[in-house]
Structure 1
Amino acid sequence: MKSDAYGKASTVAARSKLILAFAVLANVVSLLFFKFSGVFFPVAVSFYTFNQISYIVDMYRGEIEEFSLLDYLAYILFFPKILQGPLMGYGEFSKELEGAIDTDPAIDYELLLRALFLFSMGLFKKVILADTFGQAVNFGFDAVAGLGSLEAILVAVFYSFQLYFDFSGYCDMASAVCMMIGFELPQNFDSPYKAVNILDFWKRWHITLTKFFTKYVYIPLGGNRKGMARMYVNLMIVFLVSGLWHGNGWNFIVWGAMHGVLYVITRMVRGKKEDKLSAAVRVVKTLLTFVYVTLAWVFFRASSIREALELIGRMFVGGHKRIATQLSACFQLDEIWYVIKVTPIMKLPFAWESCMWLFLIVAVAIIFFSKNAITIAKNCKVGVKTTIATAILLVWSIISLAGVSTFLYMNF
């Protein structure tokens, strides 16, 4: 009798594993089809596909006790995170949802004001900063062959900043919307360009995607349980998969490989803890990490490896030339340019480029010296100053909405 029971249990286990494999494979195949076939590409298909895989695997592992179609649809289609994440496990999502439902229905006006302040910062990052940098990036990549050295460097940095503000802005707005209903999204963006090395970078950039690949790819491959060599191979596989997830060109494979190679090397040679570094050393390491990540982003943005290498090459052989008026003009927002034209700045030799340098200064200040928007919103003193700042950022962003592009990560 015991052998029969054991045999039935083994059969059920084998059947469950087969169903799991089929379900995961079906999701992966459908995702690859949309990415590589060139047909209609559903918006943010990768994000809800990954959520479905997470749900299926967690149910197989017993982390989800019972299936409910309504709860499943709520998890997959929860609107603040459906377009660009963050990726949440069902267990984490269900706890937050229950907490939001059980929250006192009375309006918390202070929380609402904090959420509006956070939303305004996110919208400003997207509409004013990311999309303005994006116009300059588009010009630069359309005219790579004629770029001077400084222009090529600026275009690469502009794209690095565009990605940062585009993704960070979305995360801020999604968190703000959830804050309004008493739901807290997991942190997905933690000042990644402040990272002192590539390991630190991936603890800060798209945090939930890193956790997803760790739980559902790296650990099933064996993680670090089968020796150092196997661990490094598993890490490279994860980064190559990440590259494929972001796009179907060889340039995305190169991007993933660049991050994977440096990640493995850093794991091999890292010494003392980074929190013990002197301030000067931290600045140098942060700058070097940013430069490397920015060069990798060039492959991410370019239409081919050849175009990426051409842009990087122009940084060294483009020569010294005045910044093209078409490039600097991308930053001449009317509301800023009209003010500059009536000031003594117009008499200075760099007047035409002043808006561009102003945007760079603001971007650097926010990225490298400011706290996270979420931290600011949660800890600031709600009052007249925050109310005025919220109003200015919202009004400025809303009147500039006409020229907004789609979020970059919606394409992945």
Structure 2
Amino acid sequence: MTFNSFGFILLLLPLFIVAMQLTKRITIGKPRYREACKVVIIAFSLAFYAPFGVKNIAVLAASILINAVGARFLFGKRNKAFLAVLLAVNVGALLFFKFNGFFFPVAVSFYTFNQISYIVDIYRGDAPEFSLPDYLAYILFFPKILQGPLMGYGKFVEKLDKALETGDAGGRVKAVDYEMALRAMLLLSMGLFKKVILADTFGRAVDYGYDNLMTLGSMEAILVAVFYSIQLYFDFSGYCDMAAAVCMMIGFDLPENFNSPYKAVNIVDFWKRWHISLTRFFTKYVYIPLGGNRKGAMRMYINFMIVFLLSGLWHGSGWTFIVWGAMHGVLYVITRAVSAGAVAGIDVKKESVIGRGVKVLLTFIYVTVAWVFFRANTISDAVTLLTRVFTGGAKRISTGISACFQLDELWYIIKVTPLMKMGFVWEICLWLFLLVSVAVIFFSRNAIEIAKTCRIGVKTTVFTAVLLVWSIVSFAGVSTFLYMNF
């Protein structure tokens, strides 16, 4: 199941919220109150994952069984050999599925990294004692199982227990905070809109472009590259917003995983904003164990390159992902070297708006070029697209690309206006989509910030309803989130 589906929005999510409230009211004050709530979370998480099929469930179950048994054995012991075996099993399984070419389990990259985080923390003595309900909730928790954020076991359990502290002084469940519920619905609606209306629309144009590389004009090639950057942004941002919204509904404080990455002034700043939890994972479990910055500048730069190459492999098994990782690694090393080891070292207050804007634009261009390799099936395809930018010539945007922006909802509006008589009406829609996206990406506040600080009233309620209804009626062609494929 995915967030952008009828089953989730209209069935599983409402039932989950009701079940959590009922469980709290029935069990609060009793010895097994928290365990009962965690059982509900586990049950609904299994229901969320079950539609992916028996093979996916079998792999997930095997991973849970092996690591649960291993964690019980490893706890309280510093058995390096057994830790190595568990790590080899997890990494080996992940590599097998990455390279086997016929079956890639849903979310295997994410829950495998959570398993690795857990067993390493146990070995280091950084994780609390094993508890089956806590462990199952940690691995299965449906707001984060598909695309993160990656969290340490101890931090997850701490946040979950805090979320379940909902009783008042009289031992009763606190009344529902309707304002917070509306804020959560606003965030959910914005995330859903980003995915269903924006990301998927740009995605159709990207697919058309990559299927017709040799026919693209220069402007079309540029647009296809930029459209993929926008698609990825809204796809991942939309997921993060919806995951945070679901967690907000039960009082769980989900760690930030996405913070306006295209506002970054350099590549170091970008990786402090994009997939934040993945950066933390590689820093804690790869970069620091390799020596970090403790063994001199050259060793530090080599460690950076190793991390980014591994990040490329984590995303996919093709050479295109290696090139993508290498491109980020090389610029990251150069940026750190030039700044003499300063992390993002930018004092925004002392920098002119124009100077900052130029840095943001240059960083976005570089990231977009790297995304070309990330999206392409082969290095040859990526090179072809980049070459068409300079050799495609001046051509009008093809109907194949502009037609991707022919949304049914817009068609019903446009057909009753004079715009319908214009032969380039869908090109206008394309540019409107692009203009709105640029405004949101580069100039708007984060959706989470908006949801938490906006004034709640009639306008907010109507806005939430419009986004939610528009998104739901567009579910006809439900698509998966891009990061589910990694």
Whether the TM-score (by the shorter chain) exceeds 0.5 is: yes
How many angstroms does 1:343 deviate by?
3.2
Corresponding residue number in structure 1 for 2:373:
299
Corresponding residue number in structure 2 for 1:273:
346
8 A contact 1:120–1:394 mirrored in 2? yes
- Separation in structure 1 between the aligned mates of residue 421 and residue 443 of structure 2, nearest angstrom: 31
Is 2:483 the partner of 1:409?
A: yes
Match of 1:396 among 455, 470, 479: 470
Moved over 2 A (4+): 12-15, 270-274, 337-352
Corresponding residue number in structure 2 for 1:192:
261
**Which letter does structure 2 place at the counterpart of 1:260?**
G
- Separation in structure 1 between the aligned mates of residue 428 and residue 292 of structure 2, nearest angstrom: 50
Corresponding residue number in structure 1 for 2:111:
48
Corresponding residue number in structure 2 for 1:87:
150
**Which letter does structure 2 place at the counterpart of 1:175?**
A
Report the secondary structure of 1:84's partner residue. coil
**Which letter does structure 1 place at the counterpart of 2:96?**
F
Q: Deviations over 1:158-200 (max 9, x none)?
A: 1100000000000000000000001010000000000010001
Is 2:88 the partner of 1:19?
A: no
Corresponding residue number in structure 2 for 1:145:
214
How many angstroms does 1:302 deviate by?
0.3
- Separation in structure 2 between the aligned mates of residue 388 and residue 17 of structure 1, nearest angstrom: 58
Q: Deviations over 1:113-149 (max 9, x none)?
A: 1000000000000000000001000000000010000
- Separation in structure 1 between the aligned mates of residue 127 and residue 305 of structure 2, nearest angstrom: 30
8 A contact 1:196–1:274 mirrored in 2? no
8 A contact 1:130–1:162 mirrored in 2? yes
Report the secondary structure of 1:102's partner residue. coil
8 A contact 2:106–2:484 mirrored in 1? yes
Cα gap change, 1:385/1:66 in structure 2, threshold over 3 Å: closer, same or farther?
same
Report the secondary structure of 1:248's partner residue. coil
Corresponding residue number in structure 2 for 1:327:
401
Corresponding residue number in structure 2 for 1:255:
324
How many angstroms does 1:375 deviate by?
0.3
How many angstroms does 1:339 deviate by?
2.4
Q: Deviations over 1:230-288 (max 9, x none)?
A: 00000000000000000000010000000000000000112763423211010001001
- Separation in structure 2 between the aligned mates of residue 206 and residue 121 of structure 1, nearest angstrom: 19
Gaps of 5+ in 2: 1-74, 168-172
8 A contact 2:77–2:123 mirrored in 1? no
Cα gap change, 1:94/1:160 in structure 2, threshold over 3 Å: closer, same or farther?
same
- Separation in structure 2 between the aligned mates of residue 405 and residue 143 of structure 1, nearest angstrom: 21
Match of 1:284 among 334, 358, 362: 358
- Separation in structure 1 between the aligned mates of residue 252 and residue 140 of structure 2, nearest angstrom: 15
Corresponding residue number in structure 1 for 2:192:
123
**Which letter does structure 1 place at the counterpart of 2:228?**
Y
8 A contact 2:188–2:245 mirrored in 1? yes
- Separation in structure 2 between the aligned mates of residue 304 and residue 360 of structure 1, nearest angstrom: 27
Farther-moved stretch of structure 1 (237-246 vs 34-43): 34-43
Corresponding residue number in structure 1 for 2:47:
none
**Which letter does structure 1 place at the counterpart of 2:296?**
G
Is 2:304 the partner of 1:232?
A: no
- Separation in structure 2 between the aligned mates of residue 350 and residue 281 of structure 1, nearest angstrom: 37
> What percentage of aligned pairs have identical amino acids?
73
- Separation in structure 1 between the aligned mates of residue 146 and residue 381 of structure 2, nearest angstrom: 29
Match of 1:36 among 99, 102, 120: 99
Q: Deviations over 1:64-103 (max 9, x none)?
A: 1311222111111111100000001112111111011112
- Separation in structure 1 between the aligned mates of residue 346 and residue 403 of structure 2, nearest angstrom: 44
Match of 1:201 among 246, 253, 270: 270
Q: Deviations over 1:334-366 (max 9, x none)?
A: 221332344344566743301101110111011
Is 2:122 the partner of 1:59?
A: yes
Match of 2:136 among 73, 79, 83: 73
Corresponding residue number in structure 2 for 1:221:
290
8 A contact 1:337–1:355 mirrored in 2? no
**Which letter does structure 2 place at the counterpart of 1:338?**
Y
How many angstroms does 1:330 deviate by?
0.3
Gaps of 5+ in 1: 1-11
**Which letter does structure 2 place at the counterpart of 1:284?**
V
- Separation in structure 2 between the aligned mates of residue 234 and residue 286 of structure 1, nearest angstrom: 26
Normalised TM-score (structure 2): 0.80
Is 2:406 the partner of 1:337?
A: no
Is 2:377 the partner of 1:308?
A: no
Corresponding residue number in structure 1 for 2:40:
none
Q: Deviations over 1:379-404 (max 9, x none)?
A: 01111111001100000000001112
Structure with higher RCO (Cα < 8 A, 6+ apart): 1
- Separation in structure 2 between the aligned mates of residue 186 and residue 100 of structure 1, nearest angstrom: 13
Farther-moved stretch of structure 1 (214-223 vs 17-26): 17-26
- Separation in structure 1 between the aligned mates of residue 253 and residue 346 of structure 2, nearest angstrom: 31
8 A contact 2:128–2:154 mirrored in 1? no
- Separation in structure 2 between the aligned mates of residue 15 and residue 352 of structure 1, nearest angstrom: 64
Aligned residues: 401
